[in-house]
Amino acid sequence: MSAHDGSLPPPPSRFEFGASEPLIFEQHGRANTYLPDGRTLEEFLPKELLRDELALPDNSELDVVRHFTRLSQRTFSIDTGFYPLGSCTMKYNPRINDAMANLAGFRDLHPFVPDELAQGALALMHDLERYLAAIFGMAAFSLNPAAGAHAELTALLIAKAYFAKTGQRQRRTVIVPDTAHGTNPASAAMVGYNVISLRSDSRGRVGVDDIKAVVNDETAVCMMTNPNTLGLFEDHIAEIAAAVHAAGGLMYYDGANANALMGNARPGDMGFDLMHLNLHKTFSIPHGGGGAGHGPVGVAAHLVEFLPTPVVRREGDTYRLDFDRPDSIGPMRSFWSNFAHAVRALTYVLANGGDGLTKISQLAVLNANYLRVHVRDFLETPYDESCRHEFVASAQKLKRETGVRALDLAKALLDHGYHAPTIYFPLLVPECLMIEPTETESKATLDGFIAALRGIVEQAKADPEAVLATPQKTVVKRIDETRAARQPDLRWMPPAV
């Protein structure tokens, strides 16, 4: 069958690699043959590191390289397949970003080098901060925070410092809608604030009257994600901001979903006083795998003095780090930022330009709505209206009819070569599948995903047990989820002799 005859080839499985890979010290071969006769590897290692009960691996260099290469080929990544994770924006990471971050002048620069020897790096940080402020309508940004949740904490500490200076220490309440990003309540608790959880209305949005009913002289911050975690734009945001401001509170914008509006709408224009960005979501720096993130925090003009130290100052043609900021909340982490990610983000901004950043968000919204109108043919979509960059489907009806849950659909997708969408969030939609395609995926990829998900739903209706037995093509098959949660056995034990 030709790939050009209008049909789609079957998606490749990313996991079909045969039998399970033995651990490296379970493999034996040609190790240490390069040592002279009568010598052992132990002679070349510090004796305090050697353990009698754990023998050294017996492997050659070639065996070790092949072992870890095989393991790497089993790891799902954005370079190998489609990640429709809602609220995570797993977009492609352009290689030019890494090339720029790997320039010797950036890569080898020590963070404590004197300012006069780091002018290029300081200029880069200054320019990125100015671009972010312009794109999102804020007075200034700090590049200091290490990631999104860290940035939430930073922003709330800024709010706390502001209220302390203005004699409003009684403001200790944070409003968090149930459609806000999941880490918001934890961040509020970290700074000693009390959380008021606000239920969304029948439209999946925050009601203006509901906000007015809870704001008072104890309100510190209203934390909102817009568009929210249902993928819906809060269309009364100006009225909500006005109500919070009238009560003396601050508006905080969680930037987890900024990929939906970058270049098209600005949180500052909506009335937000504080915000953060996830550069690993919106500006294409690497995401996942336990690596570093980056969470710049933006503020309106009346909060600039409280930003973390240091900030980059431009004075004529030179740049310097400014630590002399008496009202600052102080540094939030060691060094000044996750600098390599700042390089990647600025590269992304300059490579795309203003028009390109606008188009990125528009394509993200287009792709999400393309998926939504196809998926609603075979799964419920509780909020069936135009979404932003993501949408939420539900397998609740399918579960009632067949016993097949959202979790089972997610596991079955693995056999088709697709990473599972988010299925445990948002909590207000039972059996949810939170799907975000991002702007970087092609129509062919989206069509393949739709066909796979549709096929799984049809199989669930015809033969639910087959779906309940998935995945079958992955190295690790279906596990006992309850036991795995209650009795996680992470220790390798040698086989009994």
- Last residue within a domain, chosen from 351, 375, 405: 351
pLDDT: is 480 or 463 the higher one?
Answer: 463
pLDDT (tens digit, 9 = 90+) per residue, 442-463? 999 999 999 999 999 999 999 9
**Phi, psi at residue 122, to the nearest 5°?**
-65, -40
Express each pLDDT in 107-156 by its tens digit.
Answer: 999 999 999 999 999 999 999 999 999 999 999 999 999 999 999 999 99
Give 64-120 as a 3 state SS string: HHHHHHHHHHCCCCCCCCCCCECCCCCCCCCHHHHHHHCCHHHHCCCCCCCHHHCHH
* Residue 2 banded pLDDT, cuts 50, 70, 90: very low
Write down the pLDDT at residue 497. 58
**Is 10 inside a domain boundary?**
no
pLDDT for the residue 24 = 80
How far does CA 338 lie from the centroid of its chain?
16
| Mean pLDDT across the chain | 90
165 assigned to some structural domain:
yes
* Mean pLDDT calculated for residue range 71-78: 85
Q: Is the pLDDT of residue 65 over 70?
A: yes
pLDDT tens profile 393-417: 999 999 999 999 999 999 999 999 9
Tell me, what's the pLDDT at 179? 87
Which pLDDT tens digit goes with each residue over 313-370?
A: 999 999 999 999 999 999 999 888 899 999 999 999 999 999 999 999 999 999 999 9
Does residue 272 carry a pLDDT above 70? yes
CA distances from residue 63 to 34, 36, 41, 70, 456 in whole angstroms, order as listed: 14, 20, 17, 11, 39
The answer to whether position 80 is within a domain reads no
Tell me, yes or no, whether 186 and 278 share the same domain. yes
pLDDT exceeds cutoff 60 at 90: yes
User: Could you report the per-residue pLDDT of 133-146, keeping only the tens digit for each?
Assistant: 999 999 999 999 99
Q: Please give the radius of gyration of the chain, using alpha carbons only, rounded to the nearest integer.
A: 26
Question: What whole-number percentage of the chain has pLDDT above 90?
Answer: 72
- Tell me the pLDDT band of 3, cut-offs 50, 70 and 90: very low
Residue range 470-474: average pLDDT?
91
pLDDT of residue 72 exceeding 70, the answer is yes
Choose one of 351, 382, 409: the last residue of a domain: 351
Please give the residue range of the domain that contains residue 403.
357-486
How distant, in Å, are the alpha carbons of 108, 144, 417 from that of 331? 23, 7, 43
Model pTM score: 0.88
State the CATH number of the domain containing residue 461: 3.90.1150.10
How far is it, in rounded angstroms, from Cα 447 to Cα 452? 9
User: Average pLDDT for residues 216-236, to the nearest whole number?
Assistant: 95
Same domain, 313 and 396: no
pLDDT interval class at 32 (50, 70, 90): low
Q: Is 196 helix (H, G, I), strand (E, B) or coil?
A: strand
Share above pLDDT 70 across residues of the chain, in percent, rounded to a whole number: 93
Residues 388 and 310 in one domain: no
Is 405 found in the same domain as 320?
Answer: no
Q: Is 77 buried (19+), middle (13-18) or exposed (0-12) by CB count in 10 A?
A: middle
| For residues 362-384, average pLDDT | 96
20 pLDDT higher than 80 = no
Which of 9-13, 132-136, 218-222 has the least mean pLDDT? 9-13
217 and 297 share a domain?
A: yes
* Same domain (yes/no): 315, 364: no
Do 66 and 99 have their domain in common?
Answer: no
Q: How many domains does the chain have?
A: 3
> What does the pLDDT read at residue 228?
93
**317: DSSP letter:** T
Grade residue 54 by pLDDT with cuts at 50, 70 and 90.
Answer: confident
- Write phi, then psi, for 254 (nearest 5 degrees): -80, 120
CA distance 342 to 322: 18
Residue 315 and residue 258 share a domain: yes
Same domain for 141 and 246?
A: yes
- Nearest alpha-carbon partner for 55 in 21, 24, 28, 25: 25
Note whether 311 and 442 are same-domain residues.
Answer: no
Tell me what pLDDT residue 23 has: 82
Domain presence at residue 409: yes
Q: Which helix (H) or strand (E) holds 375?
A: helix 339-375
Bridging pattern class, strands 173-177 and 194-198: parallel
In this predicted structure, the answer to whether residue 11 has a pLDDT above a threshold of 60 is no
pLDDT tier for residue 476 given thresholds of 50, 70 and 90: confident
- Asked if residue 333 and residue 200 are part of one domain, the reply reads yes
Q: What does the block give as tokens for 380?
A: 């419920």
pLDDT band for position 92 (50/70/90)?
A: very high
Q: Per DSSP, what are the bridge partners of residue 223?
A: 252
Look at strands 274-277 and 297-299 and give their pairing. antiparallel
Which residue type occupies 136? Answer: F
| pLDDT over 90 at 35, yes or no | no
Tell me whether residue 81 is in a domain. Answer: no
Question: What are the residues whose beta carbons fall under 8 Å from the beta carbon of 136, sequence distance 6 or more?
Answer: 255, 258, 262, 266, 267, 268, 275, 277, 298
Same domain, 470 and 417: yes
Q: What's residue 45's pLDDT?
A: 85
pLDDT category of residue 203 using cuts at 50, 70 and 90: very high
Q: Tell me, what CATH number does 106's domain have?
A: 3.40.640.10
CA 13 to chain centre: 24
